[in-house]
Structures are given as structure tokens and as C-alpha cells.
Chain A
């Protein structure tokens, strides 16, 4: 066996991307200090509309949209430094949902769908992918149907940012095939959304009932199959980037506590029992960061190839495990404080528990990687 499938070692980062990263870092830091994060935990939408409109003005929602539709066409990889920075500062907005939904349209939509919605995404319209029938992120089939006369029947669960979405890209079965259909929020009945209570209080999601929504053939994304596959992988990459940022932040608060808390007459960071696992957190986070930027270097506007699939799956597997670890140790290393709601460590633990299943958990991706790498 000559396993050349892990041989792609691309890792590039342009000056342009470095500038994006710089501005993302300062924007997220300025807009999302921890007291702001906490003040939004109980809010209806979970984000500040001012922050959203400012990041839209910066061009971030259009960064991966082609120039033809008003975007800056820097490629989906360019969203990775933005999303990592958002994860770092727990800046939750409908950004990730919107990027994934707009990628689905750009990659699989009709000319009319793209012309209608992509320019609006550039100027701040919000979209989201409605994928799940149940808890299984690995499911390939759906019980949601688009009937022969183009009426939707079915409910999607845990649809991210559904309450603020202007459009949905919905996975449905139509004439025996899985298709993605574009549904504008205006066509939904008024009682179709029900809010979910999420473990990560910075996030928002709803179950969405699409029963009786009448569409036409034009609602189907012509290239649904590729769009679905690629959006799942891009979803994995972006949530991996967000998890990596959050993991780095969890590490930061641990380091800060270990260098300020004194017990038994010593700073607790001097104890190797705490020091060595903290180094493991650093290494796990470092590996995640390496892998997300590798993935960012190999994804492009073409249908994602095998190298890109491997990279996205590795990134999500590693980032998920990294954040679950840093989040967990983050609580433990804060001792009694860590058990309280007031300690910020809980924010990262909850983020990890939420994000691990987004677009597939580590085991799910390793299962797919095994098929790609070992057979």
C-alpha cells in the first residue's frame, strides 16, 4: 500500500489573508469582550444587530462570494481566519450559517437563485442550512419531502439562526432523490418556528416545520448533490475554525488563572500536575490550528476534491477533540470557581459540547477518513 492520500501538505497564507486576520482579531476583540458576550446570553437573537451590520459593511459576508454577485471572491478559505477570531471571542452571529447557506447556493444554485440571493447576502441577508431530521448529523437520507407538485412536508430540527434567517436551504427528498431547496422565510407559516434551548447560550436554533410550503421547480438547486456534499464539508471546516478559536481562548483563561491563583503558598501554575496538561491543551489547539489552515489552503470554488475532503474532516476531528479537552480541563483547573456559572470557563465547555456535533463529531469524520485513507 502506498498511502499517498495524506500527501497534500499545502499550507499557504497570503498577505491579504494576514490582513483579514488582523482586522478580524481587532474587530472581534473590540466588539465581543466577555461582558458583552454575557450580556447577550439571554437576549432574543443572541447577537448585536449593530455588530452584524458592521461586519457586513466590512464585506465579510461577501468575502467568498464571486465578484459577479458583488462579493470580493477571496475564496471560502478566507473565511477561516474570520471564524477562528469569532470563536476566540465567542462572537456569535449568524455569520457561519449564512456563509454555509450562501456556499450551497453558489456551488449548486441556479443562475436565478444566485442572482437573487448572493448579492443580498453581501449586503447582510441571513441564510441557513436546514439539514437535520433528528440528532444524526451523519444521516444521508431525509424524511422531509418535496412532493411531485412541489409542496414541502416535514420538520427540520436544530436549524441554526432560523429565527433571523431570510432564507433557508432545505434538504428534502424529491422523486426519490435528495435535493436542496431554497425557501424564503416569507413563504413560511407564522407558527413554523419553535425555539430550542441550547447548551451553548451564545447560539440560537429552532425546529422549523415546513409543512404546506408551496414552491415551484425553480426552488430546487440544480446541482444539489455537489452543493450538499460541499456544504457539509465547509460546515465542518468553519465549525472547526470556530472551535479552534474557542479552544485557544479556553487555554488563555486557564493560563491566566494558573499564573494568578495561589494555593499552598505557590502559584498553582508551578505544579506540574497542572502545567503538563496545560501544555497538552496548547499542543492540541496548535494541531487544530495547523489543520484548519491546511484545509483553508486546499478548499476552493471548485467542487471539493478528495484532498479537501480529507483536510476538512481532519480539521473538524482535531478541533472538536481539542476544544472538548480544553473546555473540560478549563473547568477542572479553576477548582471550585470552575463549578460556578460566573466563571467564564463554562462558556468554553458549553461551546465544545455544542460544537462537537455540528457537521459531524470527531468519530463521524474519522469513520469517513478511514474509508478515504485505509481502503
Chain B
């Protein structure tokens, strides 16, 4: 894989330019050697101890160099600098394709949430461990019977003296088997009429008796998620964030971070960027009937369609910043971003496999698989983005109802 150049950056000041040069030099010099095993393309693919330890060491190294949590306060392990510096680091990480900063639930969701509404106690206790990768975080929102519908949460939290007693189960817990803490949404009041008002939000310790995790084998054959069971698990009442009954509101705030609609994330890349350029690189040596595949008119038309879509996708980020050009439906681009992006990448990755011909039938582990099965994994794993965080179909409902004003189902 080559570095990708789809978005060359220009910096406004010399200071920022110099910083970018410094960062890219550091990353080039310190990027880890090929570990000899497949590295995850996203944070949802940390499926073994060796991968975990490799990524933990890398994130720690990035943080020690001062390149993670740059906009977080110094006393919590950050650098107290302007967010634009972290943006530069993230852009360079993406461009140079260094390994991901894997502790994403902490860096991107729990961390900003605690910084925003957490108590001093919570900030002191949790933030630094998120940045230096000592404390892995996971998220416990979805339940086996309630995928995208959080209002149906049944896991209960019952107050008993200085503790809460947790019972129930969560699913799709990324790194649940490695996590020290979970942001947990549980029901503290089953009697409340409106089902959202009975929910509370916890920063729950995972190394607790009664908490067990079962790794889930994904369609790729790899691991990365667990199902997490709570069987009279006793956690201290200080784990409650905010007050009882505020869980829904806090969870919605957290999802804002997940969807990138709210600033505050510590930074670092969580997903290896795979762009059209990578697909074109893959396709350029493929031949059919003695001719380069890239000379085939049907292939060319399909590739150009994808290139147009990709360009519109990236440019949309710029149009969001120009209100005059978003007057029809001001929420349209922000709310459709996930749907547009994840569905584009799904089709693009699927097409990469189509172009591989018979070789697309080979899989990870076969020595003849193109790029060790990179595209096979990329395509299959992409379903985590078109399903997780609200399926594309739920997204289409949200856009239809909240952007276009169509009636609910």
C-alpha cells in the first residue's frame, strides 16, 4: 500500500507548516516495523493479545511524543494546545498510513464526554489512562435484542447501598475482553412511562466479579467484539455519571462524538483510510485477455462513477461550511454523512473484489491473495460501518424524517 495523496493540505501559517513537517518526520522515523501479522484496518478488529499489545505500545509512543490529546488540558495528560495542531497530526497519520490509535472509545467518545460534563474526580481518574493507552475503554449501549433502538435497553442497574448491581447483557462490545472501563447505559427505573427516562449512564469497571465477556467471531473469521454479560455485577455508585435518569441525554451526547458532529476528541486515526487511489493502484497491473484491465471501457465507466462519488463526498465536507449553499435543508449534509460515506466505501470495496477476478476467491492466509486479502477484509469489515451506529436503513429513516420532514413509519 502506498501513501495516499487525495487531500493535499495547505497550512495558513509558517508555524503550522513547520509543525506538519516535524510531525511527518517523527511519524516516518518512529513508525513501527511490519510486525509479521495482519494489523487491523479499524479499531473494531483488535482480535488478539499480540495485536492489542502492538497497538498499545504504538499509541503510548505517540502520546509520549506529545502528539495525542494535544487539545486536552495538560493536567490530564494533554498538551493544552489549539485543536488545529491535532488535526495536522491526524492528517499526517492518515496520509502516512501509520497504525491506528486503537483506544477509540476512550479517545473519541468517553474522553471528550468526561472533559465536557465529568466531575473533577472523573477527569483525574480517567483521562490520562485513555491517552497513554493504559486503560482500554469499551462501550455498552447495544443489547442483543435492541440493535439500533436504545430506548429498549433492558440491562438493569439497581442501587444497593454504596453500589449498583448490574444484570443483563450487551453486544458488539469492541475490545470488551481487553477493556478496563465501559461506558454503560443501563435501566435504573423500570417503572418510568417514557422508556428513555429510566436510563442512567455509568463509567463501569470491567474487572468486576459477575462481568464476563464472550468474543464474537465476525464474518471475516476474526475477532474484535464481545458479548458482555452482567450477572449481579457490583460496581461502586461513584461510577454513575450525572444523576439517575440522565442516561439517555448523556448517551445522545456521546453519539454526537461518535458521529463526529461534536468537537473534543483526543485525536489519532481510528480507521485506515482506503480511497479510490488504493483501488486504482491495485487494479493497474491486472490484465484481461492480454490488455490492461484499466483499458476496458466498462471498467473505466464504473471507476469514473466511483471517482465522481468520492469527490462529491470529500467536497461535501467543505460545502457544510458554507451555509448559503446548504439553505434548502441545512441538516442534510451533516445527517447524511454516515450514510453517504459508509455506503460509498462498501460499494467501492466490493468493486475492488470484482476487479480481482478469480483471485477475489482467495482469502487471508493464502499466499496468492492480492495484498494478503486486504480487500476481502476491507469489504467485509465495512459492514460494521453500514450496520453499527445505526444501520443505513435507520439512517435513511432519520434523514427522511429529520431532514425532509417525512412522517414516521
Give Cα A44 to B312, complex, Å.
40
Task: Give the residue among B5, B393, B396, B403 with the most A Cβ atoms within 10 A.
Answer: B396
With A259-B405, A367-B300 given, name 6 new contacts (CB 8 A).
A7-B7, A17-B324, A21-B324, A272-B397, A279-B396, A317-B304
Identify the 10 closest CB pairs spanning chains A and B, nearest first: A269-B406, A287-B312, A370-B300, A18-B324, A11-B318, A275-B400, A270-B407, A366-B304, A267-B407, A276-B396
Can you list 5 A-B contacts with CB-CB less than 8 angstroms, sorted by A residue number?
A: A3-B277, A7-B7, A255-B405, A266-B407, A279-B339
A255 touches B406 (CB 8 A): yes
Chain A contact residues, majority secondary structure = helix
Q: A363 on the interface (CB 8 Å rule)?
A: yes
| A293 to B310 alpha-carbon distance, docked (Å) | 16
Contacts of B396 in A (CB 8 A): 272, 275-276, 279
Knowing A6-B6, A275-B397, A369-B304 are in contact, say whether A282-B276 is a contact too (CB < 8 A): no
Whether the pair A294, B315 counts as a contact (CB closer than 8 A) is: yes
Mark interface residues in B309-349 (1 if CB within 8 Å of A CB, else 0).
11110111011001011001100110010011000000000
- In Å, the complex CA distance between A275 and B332 comes to 15
Contact in complex: A13, B307 (CB < 8 Å): no
In the complex, are the beta carbons of A374 and B276 less than 8 A apart? no
- B1-35 residues with Cβ-Cβ distance < 8 A to A are 2, 5-8
A303 to B322, CA, bound (A): 27
- In this complex, what residue of B is CB-closest to A248? B328
| A11-B276 in contact (CB<8A) | no
> Which residues of B379-409 have CB atoms within 8 Å of chain A's CB atoms?
393, 396-397, 399-401, 403-409
CB pair A318 B5 closer than 8 Å: no
Give the complex CA separation of A282 and B337 in angstroms: 12
When the two chains form their complex, are residues B319 and A290 in contact, meaning their CB atoms are under 8 A apart? yes
Which among B307, B318, B329 is the interface contact of A9 at CB below 8 angstroms? B318
Q: Which residues of B contact A (CB under 8 A)?
A: 2, 5-8, 276-277, 280-281, 284, 294, 297, 300-301, 303-305, 307-312, 314-316, 318-319, 322, 324-325, 328-329, 332-333, 336, 339-340, 393, 396-397, 399-401, 403-409
Decide: B406 and A291 in contact? CB cutoff 8 A: no
Which of A1, A278, A318 is in CB contact (< 8 Å) with B284?
A: A1
Give the Cβ gap from A313 to chain B, nearest Cβ, in Å. 9
Residues of A within 8 A of B322 (CB): 11, 13, 293
Asked whether, in the complex, the Cβ of B332 is within 8 Å of the Cβ of A282, the reply is yes
What CA separation (Å) do A279 and B400 show in the bound complex?
Answer: 6
B308–A1 touching, CB < 8 Å: no
- Return the chain A residue nearest B324 by Cβ: A18
Out of B5, B319, B406, name the residue touching A11 (CB < 8 Å). B319
Q: Is the CB of B336 within 8 A of A270?
A: no
Residues from chain B with a CB closer than 8 A to the CB of A367 are: 297, 300-301
Residues on the B chain within 8 Å of A2, using CB: 2, 5, 277
Tally of A-B Cβ pairs under 8 angstroms: 143
CA of A255 to CA of B52 in the docked complex: distance in angstroms?
49
A267 to B400, CA, bound (A): 13
Docked-complex contact B5 and A278, CB < 8 angstroms = no
Per-residue contact bits, chain A 127-168, to B (CB 8 Å; 1 contact, 0 not): 000000000000000000000000000000000000000000
Contact between chains at B404 and A255 (CB < 8 Å) = yes
Chain A residues near B281: list those with CB within 8 A.
1
The answer, yes or no, to whether A286 is at the interface (CB within 8 Å) is yes
Closest A residue to B7 by beta carbon equals A9
Q: How far is the CA of A107 from the CA of B113 in the complex (A)?
A: 56
Residues of B within 8 A of A248 (CB): 328
* Contact (Cβ within 8 A) B312 A291: yes
Q: Is the CB of A270 within 8 A of B408?
A: yes
Task: Tell me the complex Cα distance, A210–B78, Å.
Answer: 75
Alpha-carbon distance A289/B308, docked complex (angstroms):
13
Find out whether the CB atom of A370 lies under 8 angstroms from the CB atom of B301. Answer: yes
Across the interface, B329 reaches (CB within 8 A) one of A22, A266, A282, A375, namely: A282
CB-defined contacts of B403 to chain A, threshold 8 Å:
279, 282
- Give, as a whole number of angstroms, the nearest-CB distance from A146 to chain B: 35
Q: How far is the CB of A190 from chain B (nearest CB, A)?
A: 46
Q: A13-B322, A374-B280 are in contact. Are A282 and B404 (CB under 8 A)?
A: yes
In the complex, the chain A residue whose C-beta lies closest to that of B312 is: A287
User: Using Cβ atoms and an 8 Å threshold, which residues of chain A touch B332?
Assistant: 282, 286
Can you list, as one digit per residue, whether each of A251-272 has a CB less than 8 Å from chain B (1) or not (0)?
0000100110000001101111
CB distance from A117 to the nearest CB of B (A): 33
B337 to chain A, nearest CB (A): 10
B325 touches A7 (CB 8 A): no
Whether A186 sits at the interface, judged by CB under 8 Å, is no
CB nearest neighbor in B for A296: B325
Chain A residues with CB under 8 A of B305: 366
Contacts of A269 on B, CB cut-off 8 Å? 400, 406-407
Residues of chain A within 8 A of B310, CB atoms compared: 6
Q: Do B308 and A369 have beta carbons less than 8 Å apart?
A: yes
Please measure, in the bound complex, the distance between the C-alpha atom of A291 and the C-alpha atom of B314, giving whole angstroms.
10
Which chain A residues border B406 with CB–CB below 8 Å? 255, 258-259, 269-270, 275, 278
CA gap between A2 and B316 in the complex, in Å: 23
Complex-state Cα separation, A338 to B8, whole angstroms: 47
Hey, what's the 0/1 contact readout for A346-373 against B, CB within 8 Å counting as 1?
A: 0000000000000000010011011001
Q: Is A4 an interface residue (CB 8 A)?
A: yes
Q: Check if A40 is an interface residue, CB within 8 A of chain B.
A: no
Cβ–Cβ contact B336 & A283, under 8 A: yes
Decide yes or no: A283 and B340 within 8 Å by CB, A13-B322, A270-B408 being known contacts.
yes
In the complex, what distance in Å separates the CA atom of A287 from the CA atom of B339?
13
Report the separation of the CA atoms of residues A269 and B397 in the bound assembly, to the nearest whole angstrom: 11
Q: Does A314 contact B (CB under 8 A)?
A: yes
Give bound CA distance, A275 to B397, whole Å: 7
Q: Are A272 and B409 neighbours in the complex by a CB distance under 8 Å?
A: yes
Residues of A within 8 A of B408 (CB): 270
Task: Name A215-234 residues within 8 Å CB distance of B.
Answer: none
Chain A nearest CB, measured from B131 CB (Å): 31
Nearest-neighbor residue (CB-CB) of A13 within chain B: B322
Report yes or no: B5 in contact with A4, Cβ–Cβ below 8 A: yes
Task: Report yes or no: A286 in contact with B304, Cβ–Cβ below 8 A.
Answer: no
Chain A nearest CB, measured from B291 CB (Å): 13
Is A13's CB under 8 angstroms from B399's CB? no
Residues of B within 8 A of A278 (CB): 400, 404, 406
CB distance from A302 to the nearest CB of B (A): 21
- How long is the Cα–Cα vector from A97 to B40 in the complex, in angstroms? 54
